[in-house]
Structure 1
Amino acid sequence: MVWDGGIEPNGTEGKNFYIPMSNRTGVVRSPFEYEQYYMVDPMIYKLLAFYMFFLICTGTPINALTLLVTAQNKKLRQPLNFILVNLAVAGLIMCAFGFTITITSAINGYFILGATACAVEGFMATLGGEVALWSLVVLAVERYIVVCKPMGSFKFSGTHAGAGVLFTWIMAMACAAPPLFGWSRYLPEGMQCSCGPDYYTLAPGYNNESYVIYMFVVHFFTPVFIIFFTYGSLVLTVKAAAAQQQESESTQKAEREVTRMCILMVFGFLVAWVPYASFAGWIFMNKGAAFTAMTAAIPAFFAKSSALYNPVIYVLLNKQFRNCMLSTIGMGGMVDDETSVSASKTEVSSAL
């Protein structure tokens, strides 16, 4: 809805931007040309820049080290680890192409690089985030197949793992590319320092509503269902096996570890995506509603933080990867050659 010569009561829409503030006072300016300090105190922009710098300085080394130790250690180059490497690549994409541009914008107080850079940043950040999201889905399915054995004695090979990795990139491109070609568009969001899909407007010619519905059905609700189903089934399977071998301390320990890891994985996924999806859904269903720049920014940066805590949950808590990393940086961590090839807590399947 638009009122009074294009001025909305709770927001201002311009060429390739939407500011969550009425321009009745005349203070609203394009986020590509002017500082946006009328929305948020300048110190908040500095804190945002510091936070993104922190994510780069922590997320980049962890993800890069994951790739390095995988290249150096043959025992890590197992099919079930392919998706962990893919997750690290997604994290590096977010750090290199998303966070650096956000820092530049936050330091200057507006999206200084222009609308084209906004589209590029939005695409790369969405691509990296979606590759990570679908990597978590594929990882859950792979563990479900290995532990729950829904297909019987199925041998998980490198071909299957490669297909899983390819699937994540196809799904990510199916989400990130459409706004570049006219199905929705990328706009500065929150504090106008980073860009994402247009959930905010009904701009003619972009079909934003159909894109948002597609995003929610295919790229949120479907992954949520798959992850809950697979990890729920995995926990039930492991608990049932442990109940049959109550005298085995190793089996009981494995059951507790698998349950803990599943809870952490589901929790990490929900922390990354539920705040962002919930806010986007609220905006979509309440066009023109009032919200602040900070309200919009916080959920987006929950999702961005996954570039750091995804490798912590999925890699650093993996004993085999952790030992290889410690050995690589000269802090001990001798790798046990007898460690199962699973390397992602699915080694419990051999113990049950």
Structure 2
Amino acid sequence: MADNGSSRIDTPTNVSLSASDSVSESLEYKTVSVFLVLLVSGMGIVGNIMVVLVVLTTRHMRTPTNCYLVSLAIADLTVLVAAGLPNVSGSLTGTWVFGHAGCLGITYLQYLGINVSSCSITAFTVERYIAICHPMKAQTVCTVSRAKRIIAVVWIFTCVYCMLWFFLVDIQVR
């Protein structure tokens, strides 16, 4: 009976939760991952393109709020393309096919989209705050032309700010 306690110690039961190379190399894993990335990216790309087209083609949809939503949709498109497509090619080939310039460009675009999203949401929130808390002031402050200028500043600032990634990214060939 005393052997029960010691037998538990003698038999190791370590389990690794990380995916092994054989799992990530399997056909099933590649198929499912490519399908899911294409599904999410495809739906996101179509949805964001529809937002941009509806706002740009329908005159009464051109409001300050919708200007910020178009900026957000374009930023989301940037992230979806820059993150989704390289993920698919990496799953299919098992290697990085874009080289050093592709690494820099894709990293730049991913961070550009993420940062523009954050800044657009912040600008949109300030605009909504003014419209709700100061409705009289909002009639002169919250205009489409001002929203376009703010969005242009957001994109220019973020494009410059994200250039730091060109100096911080390095590719290692194995």
TM-score bin, normalised by smaller chain:
0.7 to 0.9
Matched residue of 2:132: which SS?
Answer: helix
CA shift in 2, pair 1:144/1:131, >3 Å: same
Partners of 2:115 and 2:22 lie apart in 1 by: 29
Query: Is the 8 Å Cα contact of residues 83 and 139 (structure 1) preserved in structure 2?
Result: yes
Picking from 93, 101, 122, the partner of 2:78 is 93
Does structure 1 residue 41 correspond to structure 2 residue 32?
A: no
Partners of 1:174 and 1:45 lie apart in 2 by: 36
Does structure 1 residue 58 correspond to structure 2 residue 43?
A: yes
Partners of 1:167 and 1:141 lie apart in 2 by: 15
**Structure 2 length-normalised TM:** 0.74
Identity of aligned residues (%): 21
Render the CA deviation track for 1:121-145: whole Å, top value 9, x for unaligned.
1111111121112111111111111
The AA in structure 2 aligned to 1:127 is L
Report what 1:172 is aligned to: 158
Q: Which has the larger radius of gyration?
A: 2
- Please report how far the alpha carbon of residue 60 of structure 1 lies from its aligned counterpart in structure 2 after TM superposition: 0.9
Picking from 129, 143, 153, the partner of 1:144 is 129
Q: As a proportion of its length, which structure holds more helix?
A: 2
Would you say how many aligned residue pairs link Structure 1 and Structure 2? 149
Query: Is the 8 Å Cα contact of residues 70 and 76 (structure 1) preserved in structure 2?
Result: yes
- Please report how far the alpha carbon of residue 45 of structure 1 lies from its aligned counterpart in structure 2 after TM superposition: 4.5
- Please report how far the alpha carbon of residue 94 of structure 1 lies from its aligned counterpart in structure 2 after TM superposition: 2.1
Partners of 2:106 and 2:22 lie apart in 1 by: 22
Report what 1:185 is aligned to: 169
Q: Root-mean-square deviation (CA), in Å?
A: 2.4
CA shift in 2, pair 1:61/1:42, >3 Å: same
Partners of 1:187 and 1:171 lie apart in 2 by: 26
Render the CA deviation track for 1:270-317: whole Å, top value 9, x for unaligned.
xxxxxxxxxxxxxxxxxxxxxxxxxxxxxxxxxxxxxxxxxxxxxxxx
Partners of 1:57 and 1:179 lie apart in 2 by: 27
Query: Is the 8 Å Cα contact of residues 62 and 144 (structure 2) preserved in structure 1?
Result: no
Partners of 2:22 and 2:169 lie apart in 1 by: 23
Report matched runs for 1:188-337 at 5 Å.
none
The AA in structure 2 aligned to 1:169 is W
CA shift in 2, pair 1:129/1:186, >3 Å: farther
Report what 2:145 is aligned to: 159
Does structure 1 residue 116 correspond to structure 2 residue 92?
A: no
